[in-house]
A and B are shown apart, each in its own frame.
Chain A
Amino acid sequence: MDTLNLILATTFAPFAAFVLAILFLMRQPRLAQVVVIAGGTLSLAGAVSLLSAGPVEPLRYLWFTSGDIQLRFGFLLDGLSLMFGVAVALITLCVMVYSLGYMGHDPSKTRYFAMLALFEWAMLSFVYAVDLMQTFIFWELVGLASFFLIGFWYEKPSATAAAKKAFLMTRVGDVGLFIGVLMVLQVAGHFDVPGLLATEGGLVAQATPAVLTTITLLIFVGIVGKSAQFPLHTWLPDAMEGPTPVSALLHSATMVAAGVYLMARLHPLFMGSETTLGIILIVASMTALLAATMAMVATDIKRVLAYSSISQLGFMLLGLAAGSLFAGVFHLITHALFKALLFLCSGLFIHHLETNDMAQIGRGGGRRMRFATAGLVVGGAALAGIPPLGGFFSKEEIFAALGHDGVTLFSVVALLAAFLTAYYTFRMIFLVTRPQQVEAVDVHGDHDRAEPLSMALPVVLLTVGAAVAGFWGGDIARGLGIEAGHHSLAAMAPALAVVALGVLVAWLDFGRQTATRTGFIARMPALERLFTNGWYVDAFYDAVIVRITMLAATILYAAESRLLDANFDRLGFGVLGLGSGTRRLQNGWVQFYGGWAVVLVGLAAAYFGMSD
């Protein structure tokens, strides 16, 4: 098969599955599952064979021409998109298979699987897009699909609220992104991504520094919304209202990853503006630290993972903004693997023990679930950055990139965040695996049902993936066309030290037999409150932004009700009065109507008699 057919099959297989499922298979959930998983498998096979074939020239097809502007659809198949496409397809397929078990009893699972397929189609098309407008369109479709999935259980008010919040907050960023994209068009006159990124004649050469800074900042606003960076991060924890496999998908390879991927895609543009890079560094490091502190105090296992996603996304952007494309992309891919794994494991716990609380999971006998516990430990260790697991190498790259210009504030913040990451990760692991006592009663009894094959298989697959992902660094670097540097043990020492410290503190607080299991932060109640309430960002939104909006709305309401509405009311009531007046004429007596009719005919006759 040639490249074009292959890429078309890769991207459109999920779309075809979506259409088939949503249009024809609403009544046959089993068939719908088969169709969607077949689509996902086809996609994965296509993505893998594309990757093995290696990068090719971009494929571009004219969509339409408007004046001087040509809008193209096409596929950009370079190292970055090929690798990430495989990651997307792989994780989506894992989630689909996992959902067979997790969503097995849901009455509307056809809709669920159809939306998963839609999500995969949007994300893959976004990843392979060659045209910035195409990128934007699929970017929005990714948001739409995640809206559907977060609000999947729409009977729950909190789920619909979370879906709306996710959609609206990412929209805030998307406005910025859209303006940025339009500015790109104004400056460059086209949307072609390879053309924009070219060293000669690209956007960096065409635009003045100020314009370039504006464009990249606007695009970054979109990334902030999508990748849940401070201050638009609050939608992500709420998005936990969706089914857990959806969270796994949302937090690893799709949705939030789209923001980081866009920055990686347009990395040369960002590299052209020092100001933008500085702002990204500030925002990303703040996010990494803030989210880590929130994860420290969360008790809901999914919330811990959600905050850790925000934090890790901050890490990726830090790596990218520090100038290392490789560091960001590497961490994006390893994180996708281990975060998907962690969510799927937490889903196993939640599915079986029917609680989200980590302490309750521990007491309920979570550690007896072998696959889930193994996955949790491996994924958690990878997240914390324990060598030689995935997260260690990629995070190491980020530290190396940050430390490139000597020790800066950012590298210190990143180290602190890494310490907190290790701490809260192992807090989670210890809470689940080392409870003070295990309640004897098991909820469902036997363990075969606790971890059905369809759910265990993806977990095993991702466990292996998360464990070995660290060794793919060289390949990924080659794929990106970058020479991976080798880091000496001395360079790795600070990172290793903070991770070890984090694990140690977590052990002291939660792991050992005599531990209090409260966490050192509880000794600083003010800080704990701050962290628990998410640094009051949502409260700030409620107090300030919502209040200002409400005030403006009140003023406008008064103006509207006094000036406009009152007059329209007068108009309306006038018509109403006229109506009730004339209504009396309609008294139901046919003879009454007939009388008026003949009178009018007589008048008309008299008129014609006069005029003659």
Chain B
Amino acid sequence: MTLEGYLTLSLMLFCIGVFAVLSQRNLIAVLIGVELMMNAASLNVMAFNRFSVTDPTTGQIFVLIIIGLAAAEVAIFLSIIVNLYRTRRTIDAEQLTELQG
């Protein structure tokens, strides 16, 4: 598969993630969408790392960092969800609209 092929694949995965983030009602599903987007980014970086970079270490470390940050993000996100559920008894994104104008 060529670089363009990988890029298109990662774009499609990213779009799937975006759709999940935009359409799902459950906050955990929204988080899953975010994870999909991150993986699309990782895939993208790895594709470039493979096809158009001379030193392959950089890209791999980049992806490592993405994985590490994803872990941190998930930890925070999940604690927020747990806290929200405890105070509001809901994790439905459509009911959490207190900041409306």
Contact = CB atoms under 8 A, between A and B. Distances in A.
Does a CB–CB distance below 8 Å link A and B in the complex?
A: yes
A589 B101 CA distance: 11
Contacts of B30: 591
B76 to A, nearest CB: 16
Interface residues of B, number: 13
A107 interface: no
A590 B101 contact: no
Contact of B100 (A586, A595, A598): A586
Interface in B1-57: 18, 21-23, 30
Interface in B52-78: none
A67 interface: no
A587 B97 CA distance: 7
B21 A594 contact: yes
A60 to B, nearest CB: 66
Interface string A505-542: 00000000000000000000000000000000000000
B93 interface: yes
Nearest to B23: A591
A609 interface: no
A486 interface: no
Interface in A567-610: 583-591, 594-595, 598
Contacts of A583: 101
A586 B101 contact: yes
Contacts of B93: 589-591
Nearest to A580: B101
Contacts of A594: 21-22
Contact of B97 (A585, A588, A595, A598): A588
Residue among B21, B96, B98, B101 with the most chain A CB within 10 A?
A: B101
Nearest to B97: A588
Contacts of A587: 97, 100-101
Interface of B: 18, 21-23, 30, 93-94, 96-101
Given A587-B100, A598-B22, 11 more contacts: A583-B101, A585-B101, A587-B97, A587-B101, A588-B96, A589-B97, A590-B96, A591-B21, A591-B22, A591-B30, A598-B18
17 contacts: A583-B101, A584-B101, A586-B101, A587-B97, A587-B101, A588-B96, A588-B97, A588-B100, A589-B93, A589-B94, A589-B97, A590-B93, A590-B96, A591-B30, A594-B21, A594-B22, A595-B22
